[in-house]
Every structure is written in structure tokens, then in C-alpha cells.
Structure 1
Amino acid sequence: MTKPAVVAVSGVKNSGKTWLIAAMLPYLNAAGVRTAVIKHDGHSFDADTPGTDTARHLSAGACGTAVFDGEKFQLVRPAAVSEVDLIPLFPDADLILLEGFKHSAWPKLELVRRGNSGRSVCEARTLLALVTDLDILPDDVPRIPFGDAEAAARVILDYLQRREQS
């Protein structure tokens, strides 16, 4: 089976995607699953803090910058990329969680939360489960109570196990 597995954590804006990913990570780590996260930002963001040396290098015309301290590194390259381009940057990961990607074909957990959204916006065929506090369609998709990160992590662990066996 190809490594790493990829699962999207999807939903409309402010549905709780970041919260769910952060809450699932301890369960995934405890199960021995090395997990990386790739977040899609639908807006432009500053890849570097204004005023830093690397930001100055970029604004002066460098085609990219990197900074490291012996424990971690950050690479900034102005370029159009997709998640498919970024996945190979994590060859040691067993799992990559994508934050966002609601209209993608990736298998996913979708968050649908009262007061934020009233229905699923993802294609049912891509859903591993809905994480929701609503009684919504599709009925044939497993439901996880909103706030139950352990159950959401179990769905992903079950998916990884099925994937490994195929």
C-alpha cells in the first residue's frame, strides 16, 4: 500500500476543522501513527514574518528562503502548488491530514455544526464519517458526535487498517 495515507478534514469556514485535527492528534500518536498536516488557506497569507531576515531576502528578490535551528526548519518558496505537490515532503508520515478540501475526492471527515452549517457540502461517496450535532442526510454515512475526537480518530485508524489489508 502506498504511504502515506491521506484523509481530509473538511467543512465550511469555522466548522471546527483545526480543533478536530488538534484533538485527534494525541489519539493518532498514541496508536503509533506518524501524522503530518497540510492546511489549505483560501486566502493569501504571509509565509514569513515581516521584518525578519528571510522576509527581507524574499522582498529583495530571492527565489526562496530557508531558516533552520538544528531542531526544525522553515522553507518559503513563492510558487503555485497543490496538496499533491506537498504530500511528498512528508515521506516519514503514515498519515497526512488535509485541512479543508471539501470538494476534493480525498476520503474525509466532514464537520457539520449547529449554528455554523446545516447540511453536508461534501460528496457522500468521499465521506468516512460526518462529525455533527445535527440529524442530517446522508443516512448511510456514519455519524460521530461533534466534540468526540477519540471516535473521529478511531474512524481514521479503522480506515488505515482497511487500507493496509487491501
Structure 2
Amino acid sequence: MDRPAVVAVSGVKNSGKTTLIVEMLPHLTAAGLQVAVIKHDGHCFLPDPPGTDTGRFMAAGAWGTSIFDGEKYKIVKRETADENALIAQFPEADLILLEGFKHTAWPKLELVRPGNSERSVCDASTLLALVTDLPLELPGVRRIPFGDAAAAAQVILDYVNRGGECRA
């Protein structure tokens, strides 16, 4: 693979995307993958808590800030970016998980949860698997029980091992 494999974890709001990603990460990293996660926020997020030094710099009008220690760093800039620009920030990753991005061409796992959504909202041709406890079947799409993070991670590992590459 020249570039990291990219897989979206998609679904409607409050479908469990973050929880599934958090529960899959130990399986993916135990398999030896270096994984990055990119989350889209449809609202204006606070890059740092109010009152922190970097938060105060941004509130005062800084175009950008950076904070680092001996093992990690964070850079915040006031500029627009799409997922491709952010993916480019992680060239050393084996896998990038996108949270959301349900209407894109990225290969994805879609969560459909009882009481939250009743049907798939993603283009079936982009689905690696449907993660649900509903009796939903989509032709040619694997179905994983909701809450089975190990099985969901295995679908992604199989995709990566088959040479999954960026499709968008």
C-alpha cells in the first residue's frame, strides 16, 4: 500500500460511531496497525478548553497555536480543510478511520441501531459491513451484530490485508 487504508465508520447521529471506534482500536492496534482517527464535527468545536494557555491564545485572535510535550503534539489552525487534507497529515499511518462521512465514496462500516435509525442511509456499494441488531439484509453486504467490535475490527483488518486503498 502506498498510502494508508481509509475506512469510514458511519451512521446517523447517536448511532454509536465513537463507541465502536474506541472499542475497535485495541483490536486494530493489537494486530500491529498504526491507526489515526479523523472526526468531522458539524459544529464549531473548541480546540482547547477555555482558560488553558492555548485556548486563551485562540480566544485572543491567534491564527494558530501549538502545544507539545515529549511524546505528542497538537497544532490548531484557523483554516478550512477537508478529509483529504487531514488524511495527508498521517502518511505514517497504516489505517485512518473517519468518523461520519456517510454520504462519501469511502469504504465504510455503517451502524444502524434500533430506536435510532431503522434503515441504512449509506450507498450500499460503499459498505464493507452493516453493524446492526435490526433484521436488515443488504445484498452482498456483510452483517455484524451491533456491539461486536472484534468482528467489526476483523472486517477492517481483512480489508487492509487485501490491500485496501483510498477510494475517494
Q: SS at the partner of 1:89?
A: coil
Deviation of 1:50 (Å)? 1.3
Specify the alignment match of 2:93 in structure 1: 93
Number of residue equivalences: 165
Specify the alignment match of 1:28 in structure 2: 28
Q: SS at the partner of 2:97?
A: strand
1:48–1:76 contact (8 Å) kept in structure 2: no
1:120–1:137 contact (8 Å) kept in structure 2: no
Specify the alignment match of 1:117 in structure 2: 117
Cα distance between partner residues in 1 of 2:41 and 2:62? 23
Cα distance between partner residues in 1 of 2:19 and 2:157? 18
1:64–1:76 contact (8 Å) kept in structure 2: yes
RMSD: 1.4
1:7–1:96 contact (8 Å) kept in structure 2: yes
Cα distance between partner residues in 2 of 1:35 and 1:157? 11
Provide the TM-score with structure 1 as the length reference. 0.94
Specify the alignment match of 2:60 in structure 1: 60
Provide the TM-score with structure 2 as the length reference. 0.93
Q: 1:1-166, aligned counterparts within 5 Å?
A: 1-163=1-163
Q: SS at the partner of 2:36?
A: strand
Q: Which runs of 5+ in 1 are unaligned?
A: none
Deviation of 1:92 (Å)? 1.5
Deviation of 1:139 (Å)? 3.1
The runs of at least 4 consecutive aligned structure 1 residues that moved more than 3 Å come to none
Greater shift in the superposed pair: 17-26 or 155-164: 155-164
Deviation of 1:113 (Å)? 0.6
Cα distance between partner residues in 1 of 2:3 and 2:113? 32
Q: Which runs of 5+ in 2 are unaligned?
A: none
1:144–1:151 contact (8 Å) kept in structure 2: yes
Deviation of 1:58 (Å)? 2.1
1:114–1:134 contact (8 Å) kept in structure 2: yes
Q: Percent identity?
A: 68
